Structure 1
Amino acid sequence: MTSSTKSAVADRTLPPWLLCLLLLTFVIGTDDFVIAGVLREIGTDLDVSAAAAGQLITVFSVTYAVAAPVMAVLTARLPRRAVMITGMLLFALMNVGAALAPNYPVLMIFRVLAAITASMMTPAAFSTAAALAPPAKIGRFMGTVATGLTGALVIGVPVGTWLGGAFGWRSTMVYVVCLALVVAAGLAIFMPKMDAAAPLTLGQRLSPLRRTPVVAGLIAMVVAAASGLMAFVYIGPIAASLSKAGPTALGALIAALGIAGIAGAMLGGRGADRFGPEKTLMIALSGQVLATILLAGAGWLWDGRVSIVVVGLLFACWGVTGWALNSPSQMRLMKVAGDSATEAIALNTSAMYVGIAIAGLVGGTALTAGGATGVLTASAGLGVLGIAIFALSFRTGGTPRTADVSTASLVEETA
């Protein structure tokens, strides 16, 4: 093998530490979403209604959204490696508590604690990937980390749901514990030692909130996330309304959507490296909105008579473009936030979770008023609004007078 061939192979090989970060988001995504698959088992075992069990999901999401920026500030001066390893061990411990919970209130407490711990690790994972990536591959490395979240939907959640059905919901929590311990061990072995962030004051770390491009970008992300996730939250009623899809077809549709999401996360990162985060973000969001408009149009014109294949193709396009938003949106915020990159990513993550909450609320209202097609119409409308706000945020400029994101405040220690 020639030296140039070896260089090309090495260039395509992901470093082990990056795979560990991918698995970190995979575990957190699995823990977040898998509860939906074992609600019946939890309700039966703990003698609560399905609606009450469902609040475990809501509380986790709301806690995560509120805690992410707070934990980013509190842990800002700690080494990222230590934050993630310790966080993953605590995350495993919280899920041990959940598996042993004797009643619903205790389970809820451990879900809140798990959400707080998770909110500490995800922003650290993305900022670490950006800090250690070669300058030309920042988006690609961040996109790789983002695939863990979509991979959780395709692999992590189905496995956890099956375990819950076969051996009880507590086995699902044990499954998450085992995954978390594996990730903690991987981080301890492969993650480079890194210095703590620059010694900034609290005011300096919260300074992104005083920058118009950052605030406008966060508002745009709330709207865009509400638009995109609305179609996913109500994918069951939408598929049933458009094509009369049954459980089997719906399962295949969700699996295809997850695979499309993994591809989208990777493409979004590569696009951000090649074309810049702003252009990639606008292309991705426009593609998602176009797919939603086509789904809505099909519903208005041929409700109940749309081929499941057509619905699947449109949702696949929606999945690719929708999940491509993650990396460019975070790269854009990191570019305008300067040394407060981790805090900006945490705020962006919170914005996404707020968008998810809005998606459920607005989507539910639209479903009651206009059926599944009403949900798609509301989603498309919010998507158009998101495009407009993002465009406005880009016009404000805002490149900071701080270190470039590729060098960042997190650097590898010398031996």
Structure 2
Amino acid sequence: MKRFGVQSALLVALSFVLGMSEYIIIGILNDLAATFDVSITKVGFLVTSFAFIYALATPIVTVMVGKHRLYNALTLLFIVFTIGNILTALAPNYTILNISRIITAVVSGPAVSISITFAAFIAPPRKRAWLVSWVFSGFSVASVFGVPLGTWMSDHWGWRVVFWIIAGITIILMILVSRSLPKELTQGPATRIIEQLAIFKDKRIMLGILLPTLNLAGVYVVYTYLRPLAVSGLHFSDNFVTVVLFAYGFAALLSNQISGRIANQEGLKTMEKVYLFQGLSLLLLPLFFDFKWIALLDLFVLGFTMYLLNSPIQIFYMGVAESSYPQSMVLSSSFNSIFSNLGIAIGSATGGGLVSSFGLKSLGIGGAVYTAIALVVLLVLNHHLRQNEY
């Protein structure tokens, strides 16, 4: 039991550094723009490009894992991840910065997928949803503590220090992982890559992968521009932004924890009510601009809905894979990460276009459109599952 606790803590810590590396850009948008003398919108493109490359590379790298030992694959991925963060810390110009983020994005998705596969393997059945939700919570912890702390360090010592710290923590964690995780674990047998991809022909999966895409597209229309929204839109001080990021991250952390409970109860059925709630919070946001504290509370409500889908949809993917596509376990573990990041890319790009064309007030309405589509897809999926008694 003690060993399970250590293994669980390490998997959560690994997701924390992955989340910290991905999300910290949101907290240091202004600092990067000043360093490289580019616009906020252009720095916001780093969020879009990272998420797009993450979504594109994850299935390709994941299927290449094949029958190789997952521990060896995880180690290699984190070596590249460390190199990517060091290159970010050293970046002399915006082009090199972009390249370093692409390197990091390529390996981040597969690393999450393998971590979740380890979680499913080491956890007893009654604790599986709990551990999966905590692995995802590593990203929320990065939002709640890592991004505000990283923003504060960037303001005081420079943003490059943040990426040196991420690289250092990763090295320490991999030393600990080498002594704790099982080294012989592989996924189910697959003789060809095409066999792993067969899972995409399943109608349940085809509908299911749309949900994280639309969910985070809706949220990231707003979240990508949270700092300019707080400072320029709601007129909070720069010093208060750290508090805003912390509070938003705390709401997201709570979201992940409640997500595990939803997965153990009614799962995707409950998400119908969540999307109604999320869509309402997005629609109301532009109406609250003249009441900044109410607008801030509305943003925290949005943060709370942000990750409620994580555990129900992850358990759903892995359940389909276990019953029908055992050769695709690692690939199915990556679906939430892949399509969430596709949603992040879509949402951040949409947010950038809206800010450039219509201003910050348009963000909420743009996000609500994606949430409305997510609700329709979810209703269709739940109807299909009821009809087929999944």
TM-score (norm 1): 0.81
Q: Summarize the Cα distance change of 1:399–1:17 in structure 2 as closer, same or farther, 3 Å threshold.
A: farther
Which structure 2 residue ranges, 5 or more long, are not aligned?
A: none
1:272 and 1:361 map into 2 onto residues whose CA distance is 30
TM-superposed CA distance for 1:178, in Å, is: 0.7
The answer (yes or no) to whether the contact 1:268–1:327 under 8 Å persists in 2 is yes
Q: Summarize the Cα distance change of 1:85–1:286 in structure 2 as closer, same or farther, 3 Å threshold.
A: farther
The answer (yes or no) to whether the contact 2:55–2:339 under 8 Å persists in 1 is yes
1:98 and 1:236 map into 2 onto residues whose CA distance is 21
Matched position secondary structure for 2:134: helix
Once the two structures are superposed, the pairs formed by residues 136-175 of structure 1 within 5 Å of their partners are: 136-175=126-165
Name the residue aligned to 1:256. 247
The answer (yes or no) to whether the contact 1:72–1:343 under 8 Å persists in 2 is yes
Q: Cα deviation per residue 1:290-316 (whole Å; 9 max; x = unaligned)?
A: 3334x34xx43x641x250x3343333
Once the two structures are superposed, the pairs formed by residues 338-349 of structure 1 within 5 Å of their partners are: 338=322, 339=326, 340-349=328-337
Q: Cα deviation per residue 1:380-415 (whole Å; 9 max; x = unaligned)?
A: 232122011012123333999xxx9xxxxxxxxxxx
Name the residue aligned to 1:218. 209
Q: Summarize the Cα distance change of 1:257–1:237 in structure 2 as closer, same or farther, 3 Å threshold.
A: same
Query: How many residues are aligned here?
Result: 383
- Within the candidate set 241, 256, 265, 1:265 is matched to 256
Q: Summarize the Cα distance change of 1:362–1:105 in structure 2 as closer, same or farther, 3 Å threshold.
A: closer
Q: Cα deviation per residue 1:56-112 (whole Å; 9 max; x = unaligned)?
A: 443322211110111110113222222223322332233233334455444433332
1:30 and 1:260 map into 2 onto residues whose CA distance is 16
Q: Summarize the Cα distance change of 1:50–1:374 in structure 2 as closer, same or farther, 3 Å threshold.
A: closer
Matched position secondary structure for 1:396: helix
Matched, 1:332 2:320: no
Q: Summarize the Cα distance change of 1:366–1:63 in structure 2 as closer, same or farther, 3 Å threshold.
A: closer
Q: Cα deviation per residue 1:119-150 (whole Å; 9 max; x = unaligned)?
A: 22011112221232221222211110111111
Q: Summarize the Cα distance change of 1:44–1:387 in structure 2 as closer, same or farther, 3 Å threshold.
A: closer
The answer (yes or no) to whether the contact 1:284–1:322 under 8 Å persists in 2 is no
Q: Cα deviation per residue 1:226-255 (whole Å; 9 max; x = unaligned)?
A: 112223223356556885444344442321
Once the two structures are superposed, the pairs formed by residues 295-374 of structure 1 within 5 Å of their partners are: 295-296=284-285, 299-300=286-287, 303-304=289-290, 306=291, 308=293, 310-338=294-322, 339=326, 340-367=328-355, 371-374=359-362
Name the residue aligned to 1:208. 199
The answer (yes or no) to whether the contact 1:264–1:323 under 8 Å persists in 2 is yes
The answer (yes or no) to whether the contact 1:139–1:271 under 8 Å persists in 2 is no
Name the residue aligned to 1:131. 121
User: Which structure has the bigger radius of gyration?
Assistant: 1
Matched, 1:291 2:275: no
2:366 and 2:195 map into 1 onto residues whose CA distance is 38
1:89 and 1:342 map into 2 onto residues whose CA distance is 20
2:199 and 2:60 map into 1 onto residues whose CA distance is 14
Q: Summarize the Cα distance change of 1:373–1:122 in structure 2 as closer, same or farther, 3 Å threshold.
A: same
The answer (yes or no) to whether the contact 2:45–2:349 under 8 Å persists in 1 is no
Over the residues paired in the alignment, what is the CA RMSD in angstroms?
3.1
2:167 and 2:268 map into 1 onto residues whose CA distance is 38
Percent of paired sites with the same residue:
23
1:243 and 1:35 map into 2 onto residues whose CA distance is 21
The answer (yes or no) to whether the contact 2:80–2:103 under 8 Å persists in 1 is no
The answer (yes or no) to whether the contact 1:261–1:323 under 8 Å persists in 2 is yes
2:78 and 2:58 map into 1 onto residues whose CA distance is 15
Q: Summarize the Cα distance change of 1:263–1:44 in structure 2 as closer, same or farther, 3 Å threshold.
A: closer
The answer (yes or no) to whether the contact 2:52–2:342 under 8 Å persists in 1 is yes
2:147 and 2:243 map into 1 onto residues whose CA distance is 14
Matched, 1:375 2:366: no
Once the two structures are superposed, the pairs formed by residues 41-56 of structure 1 within 5 Å of their partners are: 49-50=38-39, 54-56=44-46
Q: Cα deviation per residue 1:189-236 (whole Å; 9 max; x = unaligned)?
A: 222334211221212200121111111111232222211222322335
The answer (yes or no) to whether the contact 1:256–1:312 under 8 Å persists in 2 is no
Q: Cα deviation per residue 1:15-64 (whole Å; 9 max; x = unaligned)?
A: 1111111111111111112234455655666x553465554443322211
Q: Summarize the Cα distance change of 1:399–1:180 in structure 2 as closer, same or farther, 3 Å threshold.
A: farther
Q: Identify the range of structure 1 (348-357 vs 66-75) with the bigger mean alpha-carbon deviation.
A: 348-357
Matched position secondary structure for 2:178: helix
1:173 and 1:241 map into 2 onto residues whose CA distance is 27
2:154 and 2:239 map into 1 onto residues whose CA distance is 19
TM-score (norm 2): 0.86
2:344 and 2:306 map into 1 onto residues whose CA distance is 13
1:322 and 1:38 map into 2 onto residues whose CA distance is 21
Give the partner amino acid of 1:109: I
The answer (yes or no) to whether the contact 1:144–1:265 under 8 Å persists in 2 is yes
Give the partner amino acid of 2:295: V
1:260 and 1:92 map into 2 onto residues whose CA distance is 29
Matched position secondary structure for 2:385: coil
Q: Identify the range of structure 1 (139-148 vs 371-380) with the bigger mean alpha-carbon deviation.
A: 371-380
Once the two structures are superposed, the pairs formed by residues 56-135 of structure 1 within 5 Å of their partners are: 56-135=46-125
Q: Summarize the Cα distance change of 1:91–1:142 in structure 2 as closer, same or farther, 3 Å threshold.
A: same
1:320 and 1:55 map into 2 onto residues whose CA distance is 25
